[in-house]
Chain A
Amino acid sequence: MKLTGNDWPHLRGTAIFAAAVLALGMAGIIAAGQYVEHNQQQQATAQEQVAQVRSRLSRVQEERRDLDAYYEEYQRLVSRGVVGDEKRLDWIEAIDRIREQRSIFSTRYAIAPQKAYLAPAGLAGGVNLVSSEMTLQLTLLHEGELLNFFDALRRESNGLFLLQGCRIERIDPTQQLRYAPQLNAECALEWLTLKQPGRR
């Protein structure tokens, strides 16, 4: 069959119909595609929101667990002065008080300027620490007084100290007096303070 220009009037209606129907179909596809895309984006956004909220919830649950586990102990550290500003006067007063209570013959101390504390690996846990080194010189009747002194200091002082070492020397091995000083002890302590970061 050969088509000529004269046939156009016979085919015009069909062509218009076909174009209209195809346009309708294409419009349907485009509209549905846009609808799908829109809803897909909405779903992706909702999924993202779920992930975000879930992550926030997970963090806040972890915070809740941390608070349950550590809040009270942290508050005690704050009230003891371990967290915050250094309390040198409290330390000296505590040493003096123990000296009087224990009737220690002689007590001398020296506190070095505060410096950053480099904790052994894995111990500081990202906490910003400073330390002040104290040298204590004690004259004692026997070794047990040294032990008791540090027990009391640990118990009564406002602060956290690490005993780094001691040197104990017998004053005179030949001396036979019962209540005379027997030992000289020199101990090194690190008073640690945890710096408060900015308020959150």
Chain B
Amino acid sequence: MPGHCLMFLTADRLMAYAWHRTRLGPEAVFLPDEAGRRQFGEFANDLARHKRPVMVLTDLVEEDFRFDTVPHLMGSERSAMLQRKLEQFYRSTPFRHSEFREREKEGRRDDRVLFSAITNPAWVSPWIDLLLQRELPVRGVYSVPLVSRHIARMVPASELLLLTWERHAGLRQTYFKGGHVNFSRLTPFGAGEQYANIVVTETARTLQYLQSLSLLPVDHPLHIGVVCGSREKQDLAVRLKNAAQVRYVFLDVQEVARRVKYANPLPDSDCTGLLLHLLAQSKPANQYASEEQTHFHSLREVRRFARLASVLTAAGCLLWAGLDFWQARSFARRTEELNAQVRVLENQYQEITRTFPAMPQSAAHMRNVVLATRALAASAPSPQDVLLPISEALSAYPNLQVNSLSWQVTSDPDAVQLDGGRVAAPPRPAAAPGAATAPGAVYRVALLRGEVRPFDHNYRKALDRVEALQALLTQKGMSVVPLELPLDLRPQATLSGNLDLATGGQRATFALKIVQSSKP
């Protein structure tokens, strides 16, 4: 697809070039007459078919530069003021331009602005009109001084007079101060004139002009950069000598081309191709074209931006969708793993249930029944559990005879009334611990009734034996409460007896409440 179309416009022709990265390809040359414009119209039709953007580089004598100071304003006010100035200076041409230079250091600190214009629009308008009729995107109309600043930067000087030669325009002299264009003038070549002669003559004339305007630097020489081919360089080096006020710098056009990566051959000092290449490469902002003239280019930029933005947005959407898709795939993989896990677990489940016997009840019920049965069986004591410890203790006291023994299993030993017998307070402080109940404990409460046999009427001895039995039972871990003793010695009790009777009819009976505890 063809790229930009670069047009070089001089007073006597318009040359069209195709530009691609480092090379320029000449496409056509049109003369400023009826036939030339008709041919240009056809050429423009072809450009329109390919929708190629156009950049026009002018190199005309009728280009004016002037400085002015304007108040330092911002925004739309500044634009309106500059527009008024342009209207004031260059009323007759639409090809005008303003460029901020610097801000004054004193006074109101106004802005110093360079105003320039192509003062004769008739050189440019017919060509531009033909392009606009075909709705071609005109990127801008530029002038050689603007583009040649890229060459001027190659000379390290604050003030520089740069000389370039464009074959079909003439010798262009542009005065740069601080890297910015201050003024520029074009000297067309007459027939048969030599480049070196013109350079020598015009340089002297320009120096005279600068001197008259007191623009020559006072403390250092003015650098004059001459872009020329190697052959012309030798000739010029002989004829142009450095002086106190001037210093010549010869810029080899080949070297300049190499530095700006321009690949077309340069047989002589002609800078046309080089300047067009610099224009296309740097793509500066529009200089002279009006907003109406760049309208189709602006539309083209809007289209490009809209397409780029929509493509980027769509790419973002697709990236988002791709991430979603990737996430969905990871979900799917995890689902497959889980399904495989389900199958494995189901198989394990089936394997286990296959071995189950036919069961009328659930396994949990069976477990509960078995555990409950075990617990209940363990909670109920056998007669041995109750009788054996008491029997062992009694065997140590053969003259204590048991008349009755009753026992009961309970969780509250205090509430037990085994035979309705009265509870007697102990005649002496009880050695046995109290039968404090513990939660969940099961108690075996026994009531032992007996008597001392044979009884020799010795109550002290009888009491001692009963207390000894009580102590032994307590020692075996039982809680013993005497309910009845051979003789009630409590101070609050009524005590009576018949001491006349030595023997016979007297019994030394006793009753003990024995509490054994065991965890269920």
Contact A71 B375 (CB under 8 A): no
How far is the CB of B110 from the nearest CB of chain A, in Å? 30
Residues of chain A within 8 A (CB-CB) of B324 are 29, 32-33, 35-36
Contact A74 B370 (CB under 8 A): yes
Residues 339-381 of B at the A interface (beta carbon under 8 Å): 339, 341-342, 345-346, 348-349, 352-353, 355-357, 359-373, 375-377, 379-381
Contact A74 B366 (CB under 8 A): yes
Residues of chain B within 8 A (CB-CB) of A120 are 379, 411, 440, 442, 520
Q: Is A5 on the interface with B (CB-CB < 8 A)?
A: no
Residues of chain A within 8 A (CB-CB) of B295 are 1
Contact A11 B321 (CB under 8 A): no
In the complex, which of the residues B303, B346, B359 contacts A10, with contact meaning CB atoms closer than 8 Å? B303
Given A26-B317, A35-B325: A66 touches B369 (CB 8 Å cut-off): no
Residues 120-171 of A at the B interface (beta carbon under 8 Å): 120-127, 129, 143, 146-147, 150-151, 154, 160-170
Contact B383 A163 (CB under 8 A): yes
Contact with B along A4-43 (1 / 0, CB 8 A): 0001001101110110011011101101110110111011
Q: Is B214 on the interface with A (CB-CB < 8 A)?
A: no
Q: Is B89 on the interface with A (CB-CB < 8 A)?
A: no
Residues of chain B within 8 A (CB-CB) of A154 are 382
| Number of chain A residues close to chain B: CB under 8 A | 86
Given A18-B306, A53-B345: A60 touches B353 (CB 8 Å cut-off): yes
Contact B370 A53 (CB under 8 A): no
Residues 375-427 of B at the A interface (beta carbon under 8 Å): 375-377, 379-384, 386-387, 391, 401-409, 411, 418-419
In the complex, which of the residues A21, A83, A197 contacts B310, with contact meaning CB atoms closer than 8 Å? A21
Number of A-B residue pairs having CB atoms within 8 Å of each other in the complex = 251
Residues of chain B within 8 A (CB-CB) of A170 are 402-404
Residues of chain A within 8 A (CB-CB) of B316 are 25
Contact A32 B380 (CB under 8 A): no
Q: Is A115 on the interface with B (CB-CB < 8 A)?
A: no
Q: Is A119 on the interface with B (CB-CB < 8 A)?
A: yes
Residues of chain A within 8 A (CB-CB) of B405 are 166-168
Q: Is A85 on the interface with B (CB-CB < 8 A)?
A: no
In the complex, which of the residues B369, B408, B418 contacts A127, with contact meaning CB atoms closer than 8 Å? B369
Contact B369 A63 (CB under 8 A): no
Residues of chain B within 8 A (CB-CB) of A29 are 317, 320-321, 324
Contact A165 B372 (CB under 8 A): no
A123, A127, A147, A197, most chain B CB atoms within 10 A: A123
Q: Is B211 on the interface with A (CB-CB < 8 A)?
A: no
Nearest residue (CB) in B for A48 is: B338
Given A74-B370, A119-B372, A163-B382: A17 touches B357 (CB 8 Å cut-off): no
How far is the CB of B395 from the nearest CB of chain A, in Å? 12
Contact A49 B318 (CB under 8 A): no
Nearest residue (CB) in B for A168 is: B405
Given A29-B317, A123-B376, A150-B383: A200 touches B361 (CB 8 Å cut-off): yes
Contact A32 B328 (CB under 8 A): yes
How far is the CB of A163 from the nearest CB of chain B, in Å? 6
Contact B370 A70 (CB under 8 A): yes
Given A64-B355, A122-B520, A165-B408: A194 touches B369 (CB 8 Å cut-off): yes
Contact A192 B376 (CB under 8 A): yes
Contact A18 B307 (CB under 8 A): yes
Residues of chain A within 8 A (CB-CB) of B332 are 39, 42-43
**Docked pose: A56 CA to B351 CA in angstroms:** 13
Q: Is A54 on the interface with B (CB-CB < 8 A)?
A: yes
B302, B313, B341, B372, most chain A CB atoms within 10 A: B372
7 CB-based A-B contacts, threshold 8 Å: A21-B313, A46-B334, A66-B366, A70-B369, A120-B379, A164-B408, A167-B406
* Residues in A lying within 8 Å of B, measured CB to CB: 1-3, 7, 10-11, 13-15, 17-18, 21-22, 24-26, 28-29, 31-33, 35-36, 38-40, 42-43, 46-47, 49-50, 53-54, 56-57, 60-64, 66-67, 69-71, 73-74, 77, 82-83, 119-127, 129, 143, 146-147, 150-151, 154, 160-170, 173, 188, 192, 194, 196-197, 199-200
Please give 10 more A-B residue pairs, beta carbons under 8 A apart, in addition to A123-B375, A162-B409, A197-B365. A1-B302, A24-B314, A25-B317, A70-B371, A71-B363, A77-B373, A147-B383, A163-B409, A166-B405, A196-B360
